[in-house]
Chain A
């Protein structure tokens, strides 16, 4: 896998958060939010949450490029704004999981068998549950929002990064320069953060795109079950749950969010594959 190929695949993956960030520019936001001139210039002139019962379940045409859903909302506008939930929650969850996993993994590998055993037990317990079940159970306990969704997903996704970093950290902890740091009187926190972590993080970093893909899937599953970000906020998982109700008459409500999820997860997988193979 060439360096060029790795960069290309990472760029493709980066398209999705870019699209999510640009959603308010591409599709009209709430009318009150922006000046009128800006509202008129958006390529998709429909508010994602604006219902129009006269235009329910319209098939794709010149006005509504991807049709409308069962409340007459523009599918394309909801797809673009839904990316803000699906992509950004997925990214935030992956970042949180990565931070927690690398820290715990580096600490486990560096600070001796006591900490190591504690972290291993913790990973064993977390990995004993199917991630979706754990996240759903958590959703029963805390009120759903973007933040809690990201936090719950991160809570189930950190063990893999911890395992990878721990293996590297165990190797580094025995190396002379780390011993020298201990001898020079460095604090445990400093040894873990400054001396072990930077050298141990690479394998976990290479699998980060996989974690992003997994987090996006979990968020979409949660939203599909109706346990994610509450309505009327658009998200791809919720769009699919809504589309199920009007399945017999409106295929255009199912295909766009399904395709968006598919492409995002595929891009994440391909980027992860390129990164892990190029190492």
Chain B
């Protein structure tokens, strides 16, 4: 088990290193002069003077050779220092930290809602394949997979804010639950589809396994049967958790735009628009690290829940 985890961790470190280098290469491969882009990238702004450009390059270390910059970038990224924003000169980590609470609270509520609805739905669909719950969840999942999150958000706004007037149209999510409700509901619906699908498939497989049939022969109640099936599905749930992270990150970027949530996704969109490269790349890196760590965590969880996975690999 330890060896398995150590190897997975090593693999994750390797991928993280690749992620760091990829992000740096993106930075330096940018066509055009980043200083000029940042200083004059927006229409309507006066082009910067030569002197200002030189000062800008010196502040952001852009006047040094690429190899030196790669070394410095790896070193500072390891110390969680992502440089300073081109826009206001503040630390990128500080700017990310400011927006994170809003994003995390929306995502937390969304994940909770999605799990509360998705797990029972998946179980109901798995218990009776072809039954009413199965057909309903099939239709629902098709619809949710096909509707982009931002279109879904706009339609929910149209329904709940414009027609029914239950919530204000553009509420401040930090002001309270009324503002949080629609963004969280939208993200919950985004996460609901994969959760219900994985629960349905893994529980259905577990219910068909020999041990489930043996249990039924011993006279296990449906409740015990379902609980056992859920326990056997933990590795699948771990994988699901890892795949939800990138989906929720992308969903947050779009949903925060729809509802004007001052979160990390909004920061990314704004920074891309303003050509604020350090912030864009810091956020790219952060999302990459989040996905790699979630995958590692999922691997560990799956290995603890089902030690046979380790044996297969060592095997």
Contact = CB atoms under 8 A, between A and B. Distances in A.
A258 B224 CA distance: 44
22 contacts: A125-B22, A128-B288, A130-B246, A130-B249, A133-B249, A133-B287, A136-B280, A137-B283, A213-B146, A220-B150, A225-B269, A226-B269, A237-B150, A240-B150, A243-B154, A262-B147, A263-B146, A265-B147, A265-B148, A269-B142, A269-B145, A270-B142
Q: Which 6 A-B pairs have the closest CB atoms?
A: A130-B246, A132-B250, A258-B151, A266-B146, A125-B18, A265-B146
B227 interface: no
B254 A247 contact: no
B271 interface: yes
Chain A: interface secondary structure?
helix
Interface of B: 14-15, 18-19, 22, 26, 29-31, 142-143, 145-148, 150-151, 154-155, 157-158, 161-162, 169, 245-247, 249-250, 253-254, 257-258, 268-269, 271-273, 275-277, 280-281, 283-284, 287-288, 291-292, 295
Contacts of B258: 244
Nearest to B279: A140
Interface in A175-191: none
Contacts of B158: 247, 251, 254
Contact of A140 (B142, B157, B253, B275): B275
B284 A133 contact: yes
Interface size class of A (residues with CB under 8 A): 35 or more
B157 to A, nearest CB: 6
Q: Which of the listed residues A128, A217, A262 has the most CB atoms from chain B within 10 Å of its own CB?
A: A128
A131 B169 CA distance: 29
B280 A140 contact: yes
A130 B295 CA distance: 13
Given A139-B272, A142-B31, A248-B162, A129 B287 contact: yes
A258 B257 CA distance: 16
Contact of A141 (B31, B247, B250, B292): B31
A107 interface: no
B31 A131 contact: no
Nearest to A258: B151
Contacts of A244: 154, 258
A224 B257 CA distance: 9
B88 to A, nearest CB: 17
Nearest to B254: A221
A261 interface: yes
A220 B249 contact: no
Interface of A: 121, 124-125, 127-134, 136-142, 213, 217, 220-221, 224-227, 237, 240, 243-244, 247-248, 251, 254-255, 257-258, 261-263, 265-266, 269-270
Contacts of A225: 253-254, 257, 269, 272
Contact of B247 (A130, A134, A139, A258): A130
A248 B254 contact: no
Contacts of A220: 148, 150-151
A61 B143 CA distance: 29
A240 B268 CA distance: 19
Given A124-B18, A240-B150, 6 more contacts: A129-B291, A130-B249, A141-B29, A217-B148, A221-B254, A258-B147
A226 B273 contact: yes
Contacts of B254: 132, 221, 224-225
A213 B247 CA distance: 15
A262 B250 CA distance: 18
Nearest to B17: A125
A227 B269 contact: yes
B258 to A, nearest CB: 7
A221 B150 contact: yes
B292 A128 contact: yes
Contacts of A261: 147-148, 151
Nearest to A134: B284
A136 B269 contact: yes
B142 A254 contact: no
B151 A240 contact: yes
Contact of A129 (B142, B143, B271, B288): B288
A251 B162 contact: yes
A213 to B, nearest CB: 8
B105 to A, nearest CB: 19
A3 to B, nearest CB: 22
Contacts of A138: 26
A122 B276 CA distance: 26
A104 to B, nearest CB: 16
A136 B22 contact: no
Nearest to B245: A130
Nearest to B258: A244
B162 A137 contact: no
B148 A133 contact: no
B253 A136 contact: yes
A125 B250 contact: no
A131 B254 CA distance: 13
A128 B250 contact: no
A247 B277 CA distance: 32
B65 to A, nearest CB: 20
